[in-house]
Amino acid sequence: MRLVIASLVVSLVGLAACGADSSPPGPDAASAPPGTPGYTPLVSGNWSLPASTESYRCVRLTAAADMWVTAIHPIAPQGTHHTVLMLGPPDAPDGDVECDSSLVKPAIYASGVGTDALVLPSGVAIKIAAGQQLLLNLHLFNASDATLTGASGIEVKTAEAASVVHEAGAMLAGKDAGLVVKPGMTVQTGACTLPAGTTVFAMAPHMHLLGVHMKVTFQAAAPQVIYDKDYTFEGQRYETLGAALTSGGTDQLVVDCTYMNPSGTTVRFGEHTTQEMCYALALVYPAPVRKGACDF
């Protein structure tokens, strides 16, 4: 499999000041996925995957200029299981390599099958600083009986720095260790204590093929259910909360994942699509600064 890195936007000033018509040039047509009107390619790769196989690929790209991302759109053709976009100091040469699912930098965004565009609230942006290195982790899975080829990546909209009040990032809440999906209908629950001052403003579910429902509760003095919907693997979409919620330091995100397992075999936690996960992908501000129990 071969991935070709798409070029990073070079000038935030030109993009923000002059609008879409003056966006700096992106990658050439041979190396980039088709663009969405109003969005600019950030990082992406072309790939080819034989039938009935899966793989992880990591694409690293160092930012040439500061930018403040206000909307994100994943480009995920058939064969893209999920993507995680991470950001931090350079830790390896820019380029693409085979890798695993390890999340070696703080994540700023993640998407699954069916994830559509996420527009951040007014005044909220994800900052990418010049000299920081983007790391796009692609989980590719071809369940068909023919070779799949595609281009998977991330494209964005940006704003001027002066318009940004809060810098955002991603957190992960749910259950991995001890996740057991027995035959029939079962519910697995995980919890994550939010650092004081963390404001949650958007949420997306992530399970695999056996997931049928997810409920997420902001567990505080007055608990609030902030997500409660049936789940399909093909519909892992972000939703902006009606009202952002800020943790006092002991508040939790409690995630209830419901599964329907029609087989006679117990399924456990794992990266493979035929295994299971129980995660709520939360967008928060300020951006998390660590990787731990609640973070990618």
CB 69 within 8 A of CB 157: yes
The first and second tokens of residue 25, run together, are 């040039």
Task: Determine the pLDDT at residue 244.
Answer: 87
Structural domains of the chain, count: 2
258 shares its domain with 273: yes
Looking at the fold, whether 32 and 160 belong to one and the same domain comes out as: yes
- Other CB atoms closer than 10 Å to residue 34's CB: what's the count? 10
pLDDT of 7: 30
pLDDT, tens digit (0-9, with 9 covering 90-100), for 201-229: 999 999 999 999 999 999 999 999 999 99
Q: In this structure, is residue 3 part of a structural domain?
A: no
Residues 153 and 194 in one domain: no
Classify residue 64 as left (phi > 0), alpha (psi -120 to 50) or beta.
Answer: alpha
Q: Which domain holds residue 215?
A: 169-285
Instruction: Categorize the per-residue pLDDT at 112 as very low, low, confident or very high, splitting at 50, 70 and 90.
Output: confident
- Which of 118, 139, 167 is the endpoint of a domain? 167
Instruction: Give the mean pLDDT of 71-100.
Output: 90
Task: For strands 211-219 and 278-285, give the pairing.
Answer: unpaired
Question: Residues 187, 280: one domain?
Answer: yes
Is residue 1 situated within a structural domain? no
Q: Residue 14, SS3?
A: helix
Of 150, 167, 184, the residue at which a domain comes to its end is 167
Sole residue written with tokens 């456990």: 268
What is the tens place of the pLDDT at every residue in 155-198?
999 999 999 999 998 888 999 888 999 999 999 999 989 999 99
Residue-level pLDDT at 34: 55
| 129 & 173 share domain | no
Flag whether the pTM goes above 0.85: no
Percent of the chain with pLDDT over 70: 85
The H or E element containing residue 12 is: helix 12-18
d(CA 262, CA 109) in angstroms, rounded, equals: 32
User: For residue 90, what is the DSSP state?
Assistant: -
Determine the pLDDT at residue 184: 97
